[in-house]
Homo-oligomer: A and B are copies of this chain.
């Protein structure tokens, strides 16, 4: 779903409250036809929802669905990883808690035990063929 050059960035911007076509366009510097294509595919994938917020003139906005909102932490985890292993000491964007201002470090755990997945021995179980 985000295996292309732009979709992940669009979702990131959407999580920051961006909703309009032109906001995405100017924020990302993406060609309008490409943005249109990606917004459509993200909508069809069920992570964005197109909503008409004005009839005259007709205006649509794109907002994250629940599935889309639930995907944002994964983007955050990818960001955390990139900062650690590909940052190279350069200053990079990062997340901060909007209430305390503290830097956020994304970590993937097992929900029931609370243990980091990184240190858990696990097995992938395939469905019955």
Contact = CB atoms under 8 A, between A and B. Distances in A.
A96 B123 contact: yes
Interface string A2-29: 1111000000100010000000000000
Interface in A61-103: 67, 69-74, 76-78, 81, 84-86, 90-99, 102
B104 A110 contact: yes
Interface string A112-128: 11101110111111111
A55 B5 CA distance: 40
B69 A74 contact: no
Contacts of A127: 90-93
A99 B121 contact: yes
B73 A77 contact: yes
Interface of A: 2-5, 12, 16, 46, 67, 69-74, 76-78, 81, 84-86, 90-99, 102, 104-114, 116-118, 120-128
